[in-house]
């Protein structure tokens, strides 16, 4: 006779009374999904209740509004700002979630409650919905209670675990896998607007399941819809009901191992160059040449030609660049090296915060189809999800030959690799100074940002808040708090790439004509010095950038190459 499958359900924010209708709704969804796999199996479903604890930690309207501003500060959640701000239940969810994150006492109480239920019930699987998923994750990662996930399945659904603010404030910018768990499934619905996000982890016992459904209103957050979803039945419930005979997860793990050890190269590079922008005034001359020059250099240092992809001009749309970045960073393992090179225009995008207020400026790469919107730009709000969870002993290098501060109207024959915004876009960053009767830059709130960390050296960010490669949305704590939390969790914070910039933040990147052939001045000087250094035994990334800057200065270019990243990486050769 088949054993009973024991399921413990952990609810989130809202009214979840003992014996309430929500319990029946969850149970019906679970049993109906399990019946599609094995209708004869007995399912024992129990619940962990928190309403009494939530009620003790009540939140004010001010708390809720402040929490909304915290949870909706990035491009991942930006499409839902208006809906969230007008829904009282969403405001309350935000307030209670942030209060839970910021209160050690609150977390301890919920952790103890769940620990008691797991010890008493001994479930095979723990289902955590919304804030309940955070409670379960907290229990499974806390040093005092992590053993409770030994050999158990964990399913997070409608979860805020991957939300950038949650990751930054609660996990110091980096999520931990659950190595002791039998398996962790993350059910993700891209239409769920309750501060949810994808979770990108590389672990043999983790898998994200795309459980897409679109129902008007808050129903996209429904636990029952997640639990009865066909993809949930075909993966989670099939695995649970079949134990070690699971055809889906076992085959996925096998493919994952093969890909990591055999199929995926240890070195990969993506090179993007755009000369022929649609507007003739924006066109450049040396970007395609730069990509071929860089490809030759990378092959000279050992990256095979078949592991280098090049995207040029009309093919370098935002979507095409994004899909190739996914290829670049897919299945990156310890010891692997990845290189992203970009030659083209740079720009700045003003970012709207809560209440449609301009609260920061983001650096952006300019694809062929750029239109001054985030949908057609490459910003760190999109990119950071791809690199923050990379293994610390992998090497991801980003080389950018473009301006950071946008174009500047200058005379002369030299082309500048930055765009001037249209007047309506430029207006977003201006205000009228009544005293001087002149237009001036708006004062953006960057003081909080300057107190955040940007790598394990705790170097504060100066100036612009949205530098590419700095993962600022998950760096939400101040320096001392970040240090303490990282030490407690046993990691170094979010992964940071090695970043090579063609110029300083307030400088411009220029083009250079090598006889009749155009190049980026930075790229040409970088490759020239790189090749020379290899003939003399090589040099560190720091030394290479210093020599490149010195050469640009000697040629009277008003640009100085800059470098950022973990000190341990900067003291090594650029590619090893």
Report the alpha-carbon distance of residue 405 to residue 400 in Å, rounded.
Answer: 13
Q: Which residues of 97-131 are buried (b: 16+ CB within 10 A; e: fewer)?
A: bbbbbeeeebbebbbebbbebbeebebbbbbbbbb
Report the alpha-carbon distance of residue 30 to residue 246 in Å, rounded.
Answer: 18
Digits of tens for pLDDT over the chain (576 positions)? 468 999 999 999 988 999 999 999 999 999 999 999 999 999 999 999 999 999 999 888 888 888 877 887 554 544 444 444 446 788 889 999 999 999 999 999 999 999 999 999 999 999 999 999 999 999 999 999 999 999 999 999 999 999 999 999 999 999 999 999 999 999 999 999 899 999 999 888 999 999 999 987 778 999 999 999 999 999 999 999 987 544 444 555 444 444 444 456 899 999 999 999 999 999 999 999 999 999 999 999 999 999 999 999 999 999 999 999 999 999 899 999 999 999 999 998 876 655 555 556 788 999 999 999 999 999 998 999 999 999 999 999 999 999 875 443 333 345 666 666 776 666 766 777 777 656 766 765 544 444 444 544 444 444 445 778 888 888 878 778 888 888 888 899 999 999 999 998 778 899 988 988 999 999 999 999 999 999 888 899 999 999 999 999 998 898 999 999 999 899 999 887
- pLDDT of the residue at 82: 41
User: Using an 8 Å Cβ cutoff, are 100 and 198 in contact?
Assistant: no
SS3 annotation, 40-83: CCCEEEEEECCHHHHHHCCCCHHHHHHHHHHHCCCCCCHHHHHH
Q: What helix, strand, coil percent values describe the chain, rounded to 5?
A: 40, 20, 40
- pLDDT of the residue at 507: 85
523 closest CA partner among 272, 291, 304: 291
- pLDDT of the residue at 259: 43
Greatest alpha-carbon span in the chain: 85
Of all helices (H) and strands (E), which one includes residue 308?
A: strand 308-312
- pLDDT of the residue at 548: 96
- Distance of CA 171 to CAs 30, 134, 306, 343, 481, Å? 31, 11, 38, 35, 11
- pLDDT of the residue at 415: 61
pTM for this prediction: 0.86
- pLDDT of the residue at 407: 43
Report the alpha-carbon distance of residue 53 to residue 205 in Å, rounded.
Answer: 32
Superfamily of domain 5-260: Alpha/Beta hydrolase fold, catalytic domain (3.40.50.1820)
**The two structure tokens encoding residue 485:** 């939390």
- pLDDT of the residue at 440: 66
Report the alpha-carbon distance of residue 140 to residue 110 in Å, rounded.
Answer: 12
- pLDDT of the residue at 2: 65
Domain ranges of the chain: 5-260, 265-570
User: Using an 8 Å Cβ cutoff, are 210 and 196 in contact?
Assistant: no
Contacts of 534 (CB under 8 A, 6+ apart): 300, 301
Contacts of 52 (CB under 8 A, 6+ apart): none
The domain 265-570: what is its CATH number?
Answer: 3.40.50.1460
């Amino acid at each position: 006779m088949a054993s009973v499958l024991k399921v413990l359900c952990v609810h989130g924010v809202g009214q979840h009374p003992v014996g309430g209708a929500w319990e029946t709704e969850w149970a019906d969804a679970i049993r109906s999904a399990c019946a599609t796999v094995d209708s004869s199996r007995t399912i024992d479903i129990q619940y962990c209740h928190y309403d009494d604890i939530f009620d003790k930690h009540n939140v004010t309207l001010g708390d809720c509004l402040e929490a909304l501003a915290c949870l909706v500060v990035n491009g991942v959640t930006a499409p839902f700002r208006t809906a969230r701000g007008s829904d009282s239940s969403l405001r309350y969810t935000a307030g209670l979630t942030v209060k839970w994150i910021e209160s050690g006492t609150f977390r301890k109480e919920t952790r103890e409650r769940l620990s008691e239920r797991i010890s008493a019930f001994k479930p095979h699987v723990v289902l955590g919905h919304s804030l309940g998923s955070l409670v379960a994750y907290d229990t499974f990662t806390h040093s005092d209670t992590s053993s409770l996930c030994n050999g158990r399945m964990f399913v997070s659904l409608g979860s805020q675990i991957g939300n950038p603010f949650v990751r930054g404030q609660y996990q110091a910018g980096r999520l931990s896998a659950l190595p002791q768990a039998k398996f962790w499934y993350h059910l993700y619905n891209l239409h769920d607007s309750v501060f949810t996000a994808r979770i990108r982890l590389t672990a043999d016992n983790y898998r994200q399941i795309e459980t897409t459904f679109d129902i008007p209103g808050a129903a996209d957050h429904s636990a029952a819809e997640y639990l009865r979803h066909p993809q949930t039945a075909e993966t989670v419930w099939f695995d649970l009901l079949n134990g070690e005979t699971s055809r889906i997860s076992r085959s996925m793990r096998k493919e994952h191992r093969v890909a990591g050890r055999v199929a995926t190269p240890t070195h990969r590079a993506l090179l993007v160059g755009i000369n022929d922008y649609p507007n003739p005034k924006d066109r450049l001359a040396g970007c395609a040449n730069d990509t071929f020059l860089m490809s030759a250099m990378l092959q000279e240092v050992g990256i095979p030609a078949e592991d280098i992809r090049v995207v040029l001009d009309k093919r370098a749309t935002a979507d095409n660049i994004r899909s190739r970045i996914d290829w670049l960073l897919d299945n990156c393992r310890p010891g692997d090296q990845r290189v992203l090179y970009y030659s083209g225009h740079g720009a700045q995008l003003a970012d709207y915060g809560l209440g449609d207020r301009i609260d920061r400026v983001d650096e952006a790469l300019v694809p062929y189809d750029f239109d001054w919107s985030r949908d057609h730009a490459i910003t760190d709000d999109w990119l950071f999800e791809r690199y923050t969870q990379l293994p610390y002993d992998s090497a991801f290098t980003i080389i950018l030959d473009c301006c950071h501060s946008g174009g500047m109207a200058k005379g002369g024959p030299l082309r500048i690799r930055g765009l001037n915004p249209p007047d309506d876009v430029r207006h977003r960053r201006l205000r009228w100074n009544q005293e001087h009767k002149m237009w001036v830059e708006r004062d953006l709130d960057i003081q909080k940002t300057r107190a955040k960390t940007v790598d394990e050296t705790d170097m504060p960010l100066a100036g612009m808040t949205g530098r590419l490669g700095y993962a600022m949305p998950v760096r939400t704590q101040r320096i001392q708090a970040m240090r303490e939390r990282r030490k407690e969790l046993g990691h170094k914070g979010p992964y940071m790439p090695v970043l090579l910039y063609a110029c300083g933040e307030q400088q411009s990147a220029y083009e250079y004509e090598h006889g009749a052939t155009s190049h980026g001045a930075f790229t040409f000087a970088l490759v020239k010095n790189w090749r020379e250094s290899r003939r003399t035994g090589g040099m560190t990334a720091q030394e290479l950038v210093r020599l490149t800057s010195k050469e640009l200065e000697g040629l009277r270019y008003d640009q100085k190459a800059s470098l950022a990243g973990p000190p341990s990486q900067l003291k090594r050769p650029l590619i090893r």
